[in-house]
Structure 1
Amino acid sequence: MNENREPYSYSFEPVDHDSRMQMNGGNAFTPPEAPKPKKGSHGAKIVAVAVACALVGGVGGSAMTAYLLDQHTTNTQTQVAAETPTEDENVVVNRVVHTNTGDKNLTPKEVYDMYVDSTVGITTTGTTSNGYWTSEFSASGSGFIISEDGYIVTNHHVIEGASTVQVALYDGTLHDATIIGSDASNDVAVLKIEATGLHPVSIGNSDEVSVGDQAVAIGNPLGTLNFSMTAGYVSALNRDVGTGDVPITMLQTDVAINSGNSGGPLFDMNGNVIGITTAKYSGNTSSGTTIEGLGFAIPINDAMSIVNDLIDYGYVTGQAYLGVGVINMDTTMAKYYSLPAGVYVDNVTEGSCAEKAGVREADIITALGDQTVESYSDLAAALKDYRAGDTVTLTVYRGGQTVELSVTLDEKQPEPTEETTDSTTQNEQPTQEDTPTYGEVNPFDYFFGGN
């Protein structure tokens, strides 16, 4: 899997943090002029694109921590997403419940006219620090409305690190937005604005998408070309796209996407959202060939189960959590000392399932279940196949022997805020900054150093 992605990893362009890098000068989202009324004009969708360093930065904060959201969370279909109301009157009962059925075979123009007003522009501001100085940033992206009372879906990397978020509707009105929840591992976020009578999108079924299906995206490329539509085709399914160390399975499309489009919807020709446009490959291959027409969207079925959890709980339930901090091995040194390929356990979180199962510092993890682990990416991908509560065999190399440990995976809890804790708890995984060495480690120094 890694080999297939590696030739393009240097040019991977996740959507919209390209904007963050480019917009320090103030090239933020520009609200449109109030549009002239059109017959049947109800809304449109958005495409997503951003710069690699930005999205990698978004996921990289937790890159070397061994927890991941379970890819196989039950997908909640839109038509049954209106769940039983709770006693909390603030819980939305107005979920997206509509799906366009039948073979409408709409034209791209008809899709645009139906859903352009379901698309939004998103502007964020915040501060970033490189350890020496702090600077301000502004960025723009896209999103789409999923309820009449103001719930909006976008990419995590669009709002990552933001201190303020503002949403621009198609009619030109601006609304301050609250971040309801965000999941970096799957690059999905939910916002809320105080508004009523909005026009939500229709949610489709990405499991029914086929290669060759026509698709339409609507968004805000470059943060200034507001509510632009592009059209194309679904090029491939189930592409594992490397967003940092954590791959995300996406739809591939040749629909044109650019920075500023991140977080917008990808439509089928029935007018249903089938994906969240998120990333593209760009640049040149090692042979100098220009990369064109390689865009990617998160399948809507995968996204909606996350969206529902974020709205209901503020975090994604069922995420498999192992409780170890790991470092990629120096493969040359490992081979020289006849050590297996794997990831080096730098630390074990106290009280975690890994500690209970007997995982130790300086172990080398070589497999999770039946999946071989040679890098952190492999471990992260393997964890996506499990849910919290699943019991799996973890294979480690220790003291010249292979040891198999039975681990019942924990559930990752939402990370405490600065207001609730100043230190790492067992519900957190250590980040890159928490580990003394980032990247590859010389196994000789650790494995034979008395650890």
Structure 2
Amino acid sequence: MTLALSAHRLHPLRWLGLILISINLSGCNEGLRQRIGIGSKTSPDNTPVVSDPPKSAPLQPGTNVIVIAVEQVGPAVVRIDTVKRIANPLGNFFGGGPPIQRQAGQGSGFITRSDGLIFTNAHVVDGAERVSVTLPDGRSYSGKVLGGDPLTDVAVVKVVAKKLPVAPLGNSNNIKPGQWAIAIGNPLGLNNTVTAGIISSVDRTNALGGGQRVPYIQTDAAVNPGNSGGPLINASGQVIGINTAIKVAPGGGLSFAVPINLAKRIAQQIVGRGQASHPYIGVRLQSLTPQLAKEINATGGACQVPEVNAVLVVEVMSRSPADKAGVRQCDLIREVNGEVVRDPSQVQLAVDRGEVGKPMPLTLERNNKTIELIVKPAELPRQG
């Protein structure tokens, strides 16, 4: 009984000792506490503070129209590799190599039909002996050039395939300066490159020299060799043009695209009958200004014109559609097919939108009188 009582009374003393030890340790410095393993393991942070903490939550990313547009069109943008036969002017002379050499080239294109119809530039595939088409997912096909049009630089390539991704075509008549312009292609061998800018201008008929049959779309999106034939798309993920040419200038460059409505019309002709059709009426034109009119009238020649801004007929080709319709030198062309024209490029484009053999009304001014004529455009003779 006594032993039990003694044992019971030892317990409070033991707890008292532990309490005293705990109290005593709490007064020790942090270094001792860490050495015996009960202190907090902290290390001083000497990293300098260089910014204040944010006062509000970061902005959440919104919808990026460029990303969505690229996701929609990108899978249908292809790389086109070509092998062309070119003449070597030094062939067989002084070790200059063979007279005919093979040259590799590369460009871009985009699929417009799931069974393998592809739009590209004519200069990408012109004279190609072999054409290879590679999709972004790695699939590769041998391509056949159905035809190309050097005047508009549009070509159509076909591969044997099914259920391919397709780039939806938009309406290039609706585009306006300031809208987004997104280019996708394979510039400088860098596949599936995306650049973006804005539509800088439309209907640039004088972008690459006079006499153009293309009302180019001008953009400031970066385009380089290898982008040729690739799509220019809008913020809705629709193709509005084919990237075709660039103009390099100090500090930057400008790029030009064939409007997709024109490219589609040329492609339909190539697929339907193997070649593009271009109407012509057979006149040489000059932009008339009041100053030029004064100079013409001062010569005392047969041609006397009003001192206005207009389109002057300088020459009419013998036995041409215009000649047969009664168009004369010194006439002023005011309208073509019901479309008001103010410069020779507009006349060219209006005629090109017509059809071979289909009557086309012309409104002329001759000796201060308005004259209505009907001309039937003929097929533009092919060079070469």
Same fold, TM-score > 0.5, yes or no: yes
Q: Give me the whole-angstrom Cα distance separating, in 2, the residues matched to 1:251 and 1:306.
A: 17
Q: Indicate the residue corresponding to 1:60 in structure 2.
A: none
Local SS of the residue matching 1:146: strand
1:321 is aligned to 2:280: yes
Deviation string, structure 1 residues 227-262 (Cα, Å, up to 9, x no partner): 111112222333324445324212222111111101
Residues 135, 274 of structure 1: alpha-carbon distance in 2 compared, 3 angstrom cutoff: same
Q: Give me the whole-angstrom Cα distance separating, in 1, the residues matched to 2:272 and 2:179.
A: 33
For normalisation by structure 2, the TM-score amounts to 0.62
Quick check: 1:183–1:315 contact (8 Å CA) kept in 2? yes
1:119 is aligned to 2:77: yes
Q: Indicate the residue corresponding to 2:348 in structure 1.
A: 380
Q: Indicate the residue corresponding to 2:224 in structure 1.
A: 258
Report deviation, 1:114: 3.6
Letter in 1 for 2:359: D
Q: Give me the whole-angstrom Cα distance separating, in 2, the residues matched to 1:242 and 1:197.
A: 38
Deviation string, structure 1 residues 335-388 (Cα, Å, up to 9, x no partner): 978476755456646xxx3564468xxx85755554799998676345235443
RMSD: 4.3
1:190 is aligned to 2:156: yes
Residues 364, 128 of structure 1: alpha-carbon distance in 2 compared, 3 angstrom cutoff: farther
Local SS of the residue matching 1:185: coil
Aligned residues: 296
Letter in 2 for 1:154: T
Q: Give me the whole-angstrom Cα distance separating, in 2, the residues matched to 1:164 and 1:365.
A: 50
Deviation string, structure 1 residues 163-214 (Cα, Å, up to 9, x no partner): 3322222233332222223233332221101112211112223333333222
Q: Indicate the residue corresponding to 1:275 in structure 2.
A: 241
Quick check: 1:364–1:396 contact (8 Å CA) kept in 2? no
Local SS of the residue matching 2:215: strand
Report deviation, 1:281: 2.0
Quick check: 2:283–2:322 contact (8 Å CA) kept in 1? no
Residues 320, 394 of structure 1: alpha-carbon distance in 2 compared, 3 angstrom cutoff: farther
Local SS of the residue matching 1:278: strand
Larger Rg computed on CA atoms: 2
Q: Indicate the residue corresponding to 1:13 in structure 2.
A: none
Ranked by relative contact order (alpha carbons within 8 Å, sequence separation 6 or more), the top structure is 1
Quick check: 1:343–1:365 contact (8 Å CA) kept in 2? yes
Q: Give me the whole-angstrom Cα distance separating, in 1, the residues matched to 2:341 and 2:332.
A: 5
Aligned residue among 128, 142, 145 for 1:176: 142
Local SS of the residue matching 1:308: helix
Percent sequence identity is 31
Q: Indicate the residue corresponding to 2:58 in structure 1.
A: none
Q: Give me the whole-angstrom Cα distance separating, in 2, the residues matched to 1:167 and 1:303.
A: 20
Residues 215, 358 of structure 1: alpha-carbon distance in 2 compared, 3 angstrom cutoff: closer
Q: Indicate the residue corresponding to 1:86 in structure 2.
A: none
Q: Give me the whole-angstrom Cα distance separating, in 1, the residues matched to 2:73 and 2:177.
A: 23
Residues 236, 243 of structure 1: alpha-carbon distance in 2 compared, 3 angstrom cutoff: closer
Aligned residue among 360, 368, 372 for 1:391: 360
1:429 is aligned to 2:381: yes
1:360-375 equivalences in 2 (<5 Å): 364=329, 367-368=332-333, 370=335
Residues 396, 125 of structure 1: alpha-carbon distance in 2 compared, 3 angstrom cutoff: farther
Pick which of 271-280 and 304-313 moved more: 304-313
Quick check: 1:325–1:348 contact (8 Å CA) kept in 2? no
For normalisation by structure 1, the TM-score amounts to 0.54
1:410 is aligned to 2:370: no
Residues 164, 343 of structure 1: alpha-carbon distance in 2 compared, 3 angstrom cutoff: farther
Q: Give me the whole-angstrom Cα distance separating, in 2, the residues matched to 1:280 and 1:147.
A: 28
Letter in 1 for 2:255: G
Report deviation, 1:430: 6.1
Aligned residue among 100, 122, 147 for 2:113: 147
Structure 1: any 5+ residue segments left out of the alignment?
1-103, 284-289, 413-427, 434-451
Residues 135, 257 of structure 1: alpha-carbon distance in 2 compared, 3 angstrom cutoff: farther
Local SS of the residue matching 2:205: strand
Residues 209, 381 of structure 1: alpha-carbon distance in 2 compared, 3 angstrom cutoff: closer
Quick check: 2:231–2:240 contact (8 Å CA) kept in 1? yes
